[in-house]
Amino acid sequence: MLSGKEVATHNTRESCWIIVHGKVYDVTDFLDDHPGGAKIILKYAGKDATQEYDPIHPPNAITDNLAPEKHLGDVQADTVQKVEIIISDQDKARRQLFEQRPPLQEILNLHDFEAIGRQIMPEKAWAYYSSAADDEITNRENHAAYQRIWFRPRIMRNMTTVDFSSSILGQKTSMPIYISATALGKLGHPDGELNLTRAAAKHGIIQMIPTLASCSFDEIVDAAQPGQTQFLQLYVNKDREITKRIVQHAEKRGVKGLFITVDAPQLGRREKDMRMKFDAESDPSEVSKSGSDKVDRSQGAARAISSFIDPGLQWSDLPWFKSITKMPLILKGVQCWEDAQEAYDQGLAGVVLSNHGGRQLDFARSGVEVLTEVVKHLGEQRGLTFPNEKFQLYVDGGVRRATDVLKAVALGATAVGIGRPFIYAFSSYGAEGVDQALTILRDEFEMNMRLLGAKTIKDVVPAMVDASNIGLHLVSVPSDALYDTNYESLQHAKLRSIDAKGKL
Amino acid sequence: MLSGKEVATHNTRESCWIIVHGKVYDVTDFLDDHPGGAKIILKYAGKDATQEYDPIHPPNAITDNLAPEKHLGDVQADTVQKVEIIISDQDKARRQLFEQRPPLQEILNLHDFEAIGRQIMPEKAWAYYSSAADDEITNRENHAAYQRIWFRPRIMRNMTTVDFSSSILGQKTSMPIYISATALGKLGHPDGELNLTRAAAKHGIIQMIPTLASCSFDEIVDAAQPGQTQFLQLYVNKDREITKRIVQHAEKRGVKGLFITVDAPQLGRREKDMRMKFDAESDPSEVSKSGSDKVDRSQGAARAISSFIDPGLQWSDLPWFKSITKMPLILKGVQCWEDAQEAYDQGLAGVVLSNHGGRQLDFARSGVEVLTEVVKHLGEQRGLTFPNEKFQLYVDGGVRRATDVLKAVALGATAVGIGRPFIYAFSSYGAEGVDQALTILRDEFEMNMRLLGAKTIKDVVPAMVDASNIGLHLVSVPSDALYDTNYESLQHAKLRSIDAKGKL
Amino acid sequence: MLSGKEVATHNTRESCWIIVHGKVYDVTDFLDDHPGGAKIILKYAGKDATQEYDPIHPPNAITDNLAPEKHLGDVQADTVQKVEIIISDQDKARRQLFEQRPPLQEILNLHDFEAIGRQIMPEKAWAYYSSAADDEITNRENHAAYQRIWFRPRIMRNMTTVDFSSSILGQKTSMPIYISATALGKLGHPDGELNLTRAAAKHGIIQMIPTLASCSFDEIVDAAQPGQTQFLQLYVNKDREITKRIVQHAEKRGVKGLFITVDAPQLGRREKDMRMKFDAESDPSEVSKSGSDKVDRSQGAARAISSFIDPGLQWSDLPWFKSITKMPLILKGVQCWEDAQEAYDQGLAGVVLSNHGGRQLDFARSGVEVLTEVVKHLGEQRGLTFPNEKFQLYVDGGVRRATDVLKAVALGATAVGIGRPFIYAFSSYGAEGVDQALTILRDEFEMNMRLLGAKTIKDVVPAMVDASNIGLHLVSVPSDALYDTNYESLQHAKLRSIDAKGKL
Amino acid sequence: MLSGKEVATHNTRESCWIIVHGKVYDVTDFLDDHPGGAKIILKYAGKDATQEYDPIHPPNAITDNLAPEKHLGDVQADTVQKVEIIISDQDKARRQLFEQRPPLQEILNLHDFEAIGRQIMPEKAWAYYSSAADDEITNRENHAAYQRIWFRPRIMRNMTTVDFSSSILGQKTSMPIYISATALGKLGHPDGELNLTRAAAKHGIIQMIPTLASCSFDEIVDAAQPGQTQFLQLYVNKDREITKRIVQHAEKRGVKGLFITVDAPQLGRREKDMRMKFDAESDPSEVSKSGSDKVDRSQGAARAISSFIDPGLQWSDLPWFKSITKMPLILKGVQCWEDAQEAYDQGLAGVVLSNHGGRQLDFARSGVEVLTEVVKHLGEQRGLTFPNEKFQLYVDGGVRRATDVLKAVALGATAVGIGRPFIYAFSSYGAEGVDQALTILRDEFEMNMRLLGAKTIKDVVPAMVDASNIGLHLVSVPSDALYDTNYESLQHAKLRSIDAKGKL
């Protein structure tokens, strides 16, 4: 039993102890391996880090990653100095706005959750979830691409009943969507990813569990209903034994598909998120008049990440994956037909055409655009037709409406992954928010299947969409400011004005 | 003779009586079949619903739809408690603005009616008429599509006189347009659809009577001048006997064409309209802090609608329609060439290429775009040329100028349907507004036929337009906010400033 | 010698006398033939109309158009009641701003004249000059079309001297431009079209004299320097004797080319101009509550115009024109290759590819776009190459920079007409303004010929431009408002804020 | 030793002496040859011009350009009247904002330097650097063009290490970029171009020294580290002996490549820069009421420039260049494949596809667009593939991100020049700013090479980009203002409002 006083003396880079949930850990050697950087840990050196730790780590993160000899044992609770978490004025205001949420029945579409969430969720959560790479062009293109696809609906078919259930990797789903993996769910809501598990159960939807969940993997699996399907998203660790342990544990716990992330040999820079931190943390005393205090940001980050996500992952690693699991293997983050074809040739179960929600390489194309390319070339080169049971195509990114999903399905996708909208839903309303989001999607599917003239998902065929403009990435000629500001816009007829005495 | 007091006791879902125009009806069993939902009826359970009922139902709606045994008889007028209709502050302000309408001669184009109407008509009317499906993309695309079609006018032809009269289904019209069917006209003006009947008579234009008119069918037919042509728009009822009665009655009354709506197996969700209702009705006490009060919106609506509009309508039903009427049959809401061809092959008189004013499936293409596709394919597949007397093509949606109509006519349409602009016209100025709207169109036709170099409608030929860009549905690459905000826009030369004393 | 008192009694539609420049005219029978409508004359019935008459008529308009017997003789000056012209507050403010014009050397480009002019010229003048047809789409497209044409400049050519002089219909010009005909110059400046004559002389530029000038034709010709070239723009009168008189008089006075306007069988409606009139004239007492005061606008206007501009002008009239004059004949307002070819086949000297500055048919294509079509088809069909001495192509509309002109020249135009910019120049600064405008263009030509690598106008060849996108008339898919407003734009690094005491 | 008093008497155009750094010069005959015009010199006639001279001339400019007999000797320092430089309020405010610069670690990308620089650098510097030709369309297109190029990244390649070093003209560089020549560096920072030299040394990047540097050539070369590579940008003087002296001196000092500017036979007009001068200098007393004070701007400028930059430079001059130097020769400012091919045929080492940062010919295409054309045609015509060691292609203009560079490299460029961003970096933070800018680029290269799946620059291949839309220069159809302003945008769900007492 250690005393808080003793722990408090280990408050330097040379000897750094921290307290989490009443236990003391020596993290001195771990500092440079921390994915979030050493700086944030050092802020709590010798102190109780629980409140900061909780929303962004699963409970077992520290025990799984720290050698047993660094677990120094319990601390005497009453000897530990309270760490006061300072809540920014911004976040105080947000907590107040939280009380003003509209009732759920006024949420009419998936956009609405984001509109509410951005106002009421903690600033840090909003910045983390909403940010994307560089100029965030790809992030928005993911949505814009769907606006270049138009429908060719059919009429006079008996639409009394419609059925939009489907299957993914042989598992049933009530709609052709799945909940895509997103990290750090507790930033937005104390129940984190469990919100998704619960709503998915209710709606017969499959949840993909993220490697970087803030609930532990087992918590999430334990929360599932009997028979509820879950998939696992995997960041491959440099230490393949760790990866093997994770994968085989998942398989044993009943996970039905392994989605290996392949678009993140290095985690993207998200400047909106970084900018927010400066705003939040900026300490006037740090301001340099001489401009000399730049830090070499890249070194640290690259090194830290490389211990968690292996930048060396390559095609020749695939046989090893097949040797350790019987789960279907899917690559998540494929972005051109050549790689999709390689995945097919290597006998994988499918690929997710994704750019990681626009958070990795800016100017990567949208998944739905890549979809049209993959369908065309794998048709020509390998004689495949899609959707295809043996080699399934998924897309994610930018989806907000059931019509978006139906466009992708018409073009050959088996299903579509949706991520951020569900985060915004549970950050605003918990599991009930996700439930409502799925209800909205279900309503939209029913409506739009009827209007498209498709009784079942199989009836949603390529001829129902016009995607001929999908590849047009246009930027207008810059405006002629002098001409445009000279132009006086036309005006409508106007109401007569009326003076205070009621005269016109 | 019932007393108001007795009626007032039947104010629950279990026993629900209402008073309309001094008569009592037991609507208990009808509650779940009401297209507008049970909630709104229950608000008037045991009370006088006349004021709420009138603007959105034809007088005979209740008697036609309620079994005779549910007609409970008259109520003693003086025993009925007055129902106070609360007029929102919004609507009070609008009534005041109504007095400030500019004189009609200042209305220069069809846009102007909308500009005035949106300020002065009842909020509920504006929300109902102006709203469209989902993100309202198709709604606006309907207009935008015309901006992608450009003219190739001819010169040096004798344009002393021009004649833009034409015929639709063999019926004369003074211009190649017709008044398209739109529902619930009394929301905007107490005379409802009769405003259209009167102005149509004056201008020699054909009116299409809507199934969901707020005047009764017979009222509208009675209001017609001798020889005035009317068509009927039909929602097909699940109970085909009702449909048969409607159709045969219409034929007997002299209706000259039957336009069967085929793009509404389920009525679209229009979120702008729904949002308005929350704003208007929102009762602070309903606000849920827990977010648990979502309702399953889809169930009720889908069920209710299905009794009025049959989602099971299909191609094999067409022979039955031919068996009950000799009126020419037209499908309204065709959206691809395959269905237009099927309609032709089944011997129909024509199709309306329409997406229901953008109110059904978002991302459906505009009618005028589908027109180019239909003309091309039915030319190739069936050797047809358009306009074609035997199989006529119509389009509707987004039209605001005679030039829009002339573009469609050049591309092969027999005539173009116009809906919302006339609603805004009568909501602002009654029948005189519609008269003025038609006068404006007539002026525009005369002007633009001259400028195009077309003496008659037959001279408006494909070579007079360039529609080569009609199929380009483009969305720009998202903007580069950082670059764009850094760019400092060019400025014009500026006037010298002058100080208060007149010095520069 | 008539007394003012007597004149004042003829103040009705039945007997309408007016005084202009001290003479009395009986205009009773002329009322319905007045191109500007009867209403404006009736406003001055029995009164002195000089001040209203002057800026919009050439001095001889009334004598030329009124039969001699309607010239009633002189009025006693001191017996005429003064007509007070009410100057609107708007125009008073504009007159004050006029004093604040920046010095001419601060005018850097043609846009600047418009920026100044729209603030300081009389409101009526600005409305008349700047307005265009319908939604003014073509008006702006005229400029936008040039932005779709890009340069392919050449380097390493000896550009020590450049020469951009050229010839039009065999007449020398110092630049490949001419001053296009525009009506009613005195609205903007008391010297009207003479401002153009004077500046054109100084710069060796050709002026095209408009039929509807507010100076008389002879005044404008008299103002020319010896050897100065002028062309005549012609509206063909229904009474061909009047036309013959005008044409032969022009030829006798030395005019070197006849540009027959063919795009105006009816003069366009310009709503911005019309709207301005309502604003200016609106009299509260006219406001109709009942909305019943619409007037049938079309009848009057169509009839009045038809006496001045013959809508019956046709190809078969051309031999007659050739029989009355030896001036080269050019059609102004050709808008497709078929009509350009017909003009060539009929042996004309050329055509102006023009849409009348966007003032006639909205959605007519820009002149420069039609140019590419004409060059292509007349090359294929008639073996012509352009620029061509025998059959010359001109374009006008939307030009603001010498680069615009060079684009048209590279594509085959002999020269380019410029209209509005010169009006704005003289409305702001008189003849010196036009002089400055031409100096700016000369500087721009010198600069841009050097940068293009073209020593002379002949060296400005098709390979110097990329016009492959000229025919793309694109309208973006309507915006997704819900998505776009949810997106939080990226922010730059920000300056530290500093408090009042200078602390960060 | 001259007295200040005597100098002061030579203050006219007829006899104009000025003092610079304590020495007196007779510049009377030089007035008309001054590239910046005579006016600015005359402002200092008879006075000490040092403060105005310093930031825009290298120290040796006056001695190099003025004949020895015009060097009149020293002036007695204490007899010279102080010239008070009036600092505008604008610039005072900017100096204050300078203190509020954020620390360098908050600068996350190259855009940020511009965002800070435009607020804190002297107004004149900002206007000079940021301005471009005419409507600045090409200036912005340079950036926009990169947004039309999208990536096709590859996955599952071992990205543990990436190497983005490369070579330019046989010289090593740590990244495929170089610092492009830009003039007048001291306007932004007292150390001028030396800031670039220092940062380039630290990062192993090549600096291109500008002819119009405000440091002297030797100062810049002296500041280089041993082994540091520098190139020279050359404006060719009409007096070829001067050019020969410059070139041979550069070669002797170790310069490794000669970039001859060929896109400036006349220096472009930059209106934003000119406008700024009017604002700054405008003296109320100069305002002309009559508008008669225009000056003939072109004469002076054209004549002055022609003595410094020879507009007569042509292909036949190239053998002479080869005869005077062994440095590799590159043409900077090539803008079509024909000229690139000519350069190849003449045996040059390469070309820079550039439009001078949009400062010369507006509507010249972007370098990266021309690149695709050059690669295509020189492949077809000369069998070349790119990047090519023997004939190297460079592009510059509009680059802000490493991804922009990687796009150009994928398309065949050997390297990309970056200019303005580095100016903004040193204007805001001196050499450390440039260091930080290069660090940011290095981080971005590392990240994006990994995400692209390219281990080395050679792995950045054409198949990694989709540039199929590069040639689309689109301008939308002008907006329909009446329709658009009538459209009422969709709204999100809203937070409940809460009153002062906390009630909803």
Residue contact B481–C473, C-beta within 8 A? no
Rounded to whole angstroms, how far apart are CA atoms A309 and A472?
34
Best CA proximity match to B300, nearest among A174, A449, A202, A443: A443
The radius of gyration of chain A's CA atoms, rounded to the nearest angstrom, is 25
Distances (CA, A) of A3 to A23, A74, A80: 11, 9, 7
Rounded to whole angstroms, how far apart are CA atoms B310 and B331?
15
Q: What is the ipTM of this complex?
A: 0.91
Residues C423-444 have pLDDT tens digits of 999 999 999 999 999 999 999 9
Q: Which range, of B490-499, C486-495, D419-428, averages the lowest pLDDT? A: B490-499
Q: What is the DSSP letter of B399?
A: -
> How do B23-26 and B17-20 pair as beta strands?
antiparallel
- C-alpha A435, offset from chain centre: 18
Residues B463-487 have pLDDT tens digits of 999 999 999 999 998 998 888 988 9
pLDDT band at D77 (very low <50, low <70, confident <90, very high): confident
Best CA proximity match to D309, nearest among D212, D245, D383, D237: D237
Of D137, D160, D436, the CB nearest to A477: D137
Residue D88: what pLDDT? 83
Residues C365-400 have pLDDT tens digits of 999 999 999 999 999 999 999 999 999 999 999 999
Alpha-helical runs (H) found in B416-455? 420-452
pLDDT (average), residues B62-85 = 85
On the question of pLDDT at B272 being above 90, the answer is no
The verdict on C477 touching B (C-beta cutoff 8 Å) is: yes
Is A490 within 8 Å of C136 (Cβ atoms)?
A: yes
> How do A150-151 and A465-466 pair as beta strands?
antiparallel
Longest dimension (CA), chain D: 88
Best CA proximity match to B465, nearest among B377, B404, B379, B416: B404
Tell me the shortest Cα–Cα distance from A339 to chain D, in angstroms.
Answer: 7
Torsion of CA D106, D111, D113, D119, to 10 degrees: -110
Q: A116 contacts in D (CB within 8 Å)?
A: 492-493, 495
* End-to-end Cα spacing for chain B: 86
pLDDT (average), residues C3-13 = 92
On the question of pLDDT at C364 being above 90, the answer is yes
HSE-up of residue B66 (Cα within 13 Å, Cβ side):
24
Q: Which range, of A495-504, B323-332, D215-224, averages the lowest pLDDT? A: A495-504
Q: B130 contacts in D (CB within 8 Å)?
A: 488
Q: Is residue B393 within a helix (H) or strand (E), and if so which, with residue range?
A: strand B392-396
Could you list the active site residues of B? 235, 263, 356
The verdict on C504 touching A (C-beta cutoff 8 Å) is: yes
Interface mutation target, options B274, B486, B496, B498, chain D, most CBs of D under 10 Å: B486
Higher pLDDT, A238 or C178: C178
pLDDT (average), residues B414-419 = 98
pLDDT (average), residues D299-320 = 72
On the question of pLDDT at B398 being above 90, the answer is yes
The verdict on D19 touching C (C-beta cutoff 8 Å) is: no
Residues A208-228 have pLDDT tens digits of 999 989 899 999 999 999 999
Residue C283: what pLDDT? 41
Percent of chain C at pLDDT exceeding 90:
70
Is B469 within 8 Å of C473 (Cβ atoms)?
A: yes
Is D412 within 8 Å of D405 (Cβ atoms)?
A: no
Question: CA nearest A337 in D: which residue?
Answer: D152
Tell me the shortest Cα–Cα distance from B254 to chain C, in angstroms.
Answer: 32
Residue contact A271–C148, C-beta within 8 A? no
Long-range contacts of B384-390 (CB under 8 A, 24+ apart): B384/B344, B385/B412, B386/B411, B386/B412, B386/B413, B386/B414, B387/B412, B387/B413, B387/B414, B388/B412, B388/B414, B390/B349
Q: Which range, of B63-67, B480-484, D114-118, D214-218, averages the lowest pLDDT? A: B63-67
Residue A84: what pLDDT? 77
Q: Residues C426, C369, C388, CA angle at the centre, nearest 5°?
A: 85
pLDDT (average), residues D97-124 = 94
pLDDT (average), residues D6-22 = 92
On the question of pLDDT at C415 being above 70, the answer is yes
On the question of pLDDT at D33 being above 90, the answer is no
Best CA proximity match to B169, nearest among B107, B94, B232, B216: B232
Average pLDDT by consecutive 10-residue portion of chain A (504 residues)? 90 92 91 78 89 82 84 89 80 89 94 95 91 95 97 96 97 98 91 97 98 93 97 94 96 98 90 75 37 36 56 96 98 98 98 97 97 98 97 98 98 98 97 97 96 97 97 92 89 77 58
Residue D430: what pLDDT? 96
Residue contact A269–D155, C-beta within 8 A? no
Rounded to whole angstroms, how far apart are CA atoms B162 and B448?
10
Residue B417: what pLDDT? 98
pLDDT band at D490 (very low <50, low <70, confident <90, very high): confident
Contacts of D359 (CB under 8 A, 6+ apart): D131, D132, D133, D139, D268, D270
The verdict on B149 touching C (C-beta cutoff 8 Å) is: yes
pLDDT (average), residues D313-334 = 98
Rounded to whole angstroms, how far apart are CA atoms A453 and B313?
11
Of A107, A275, A335, the CB nearest to D153: A335
Q: What is the DSSP letter of C364?
A: B
Residue C412: what pLDDT? 98
pLDDT (average), residues D94-107 = 92
Q: Which range, of A428-442, C480-494, D54-68, D490-504, averages the lowest pLDDT? A: D490-504
Residue contact D486–B272, C-beta within 8 A? no
Rounded to whole angstroms, how far apart are CA atoms B354 and D97?
59
Q: Which range, of B296-300, B335-339, C303-307, averages the lowest pLDDT? A: B296-300
Residues B61-71 have pLDDT tens digits of 888 778 889 99
3-state secondary structure of C143: helix
Residue A504: what pLDDT? 55
Mean pLDDT of chain C: 90
Residue D14: what pLDDT? 92
pLDDT band at D373 (very low <50, low <70, confident <90, very high): very high
CB atoms within 10 A of CB A46: 22
Mean pLDDT of chain B: 90
Residue C78: what pLDDT? 85
- Reading phi first (left if > 0) and then psi (alpha if -120 to 50, else beta), residue C38 is in alpha
Count each helix (H run) and each strand (E run) in chain D, helices first: 19, 15
3-state secondary structure of A16: strand
Rounded to whole angstroms, how far apart are CA atoms D147 and A138?
10
Question: CA nearest A429 in B: which residue?
Answer: B291
On the question of pLDDT at C299 being above 60, the answer is no
Mean pLDDT of chain D: 90
Is B457 within 8 Å of A455 (Cβ atoms)?
A: no
Q: Which range, of A83-92, B273-282, D346-355, averages the lowest pLDDT? A: B273-282
Q: D334 contacts in C (CB within 8 Å)?
A: 155
Residues B372-385 have pLDDT tens digits of 999 999 999 999 99
Residue D58: what pLDDT? 80
Residue A503: what pLDDT? 59
Q: Residues D220, D223, D225, CA angle at the centre, nearest 5°?
A: 125
Distances (CA, A) of C138 to C90, C369, C413: 29, 12, 20
Rounded to whole angstroms, how far apart are CA atoms B151 and B407?
8
How does DSSP assign D139-151, residue by residue?
HHHHHHGGGG-EE
Residue A502: what pLDDT? 58
Residue C200: what pLDDT? 98
Residue C151: what pLDDT? 98
Residue C338: what pLDDT? 98
Is A217 within 8 Å of A59 (Cβ atoms)?
A: no
Residues 103-142 of chain C whose Cβ lies under 8 A from any Cβ of chain B: 106-108, 111-112, 115-116, 119-120, 134-135, 137
Q: Delineate the domains of chain A, giving CATH numbers in brackets.
A: 4-79 (3.10.120.10), 112-278+305-466 (3.20.20.70)
Residues C449-485 have pLDDT tens digits of 999 999 999 999 999 999 999 999 999 989 988 889 8
Q: B472 contacts in D (CB within 8 Å)?
A: none
pLDDT (average), residues C303-330 = 87
Residue B307: what pLDDT? 59
Best CA proximity match to A315, nearest among B253, D252, C268, D155: D155
3-state secondary structure of B261: strand
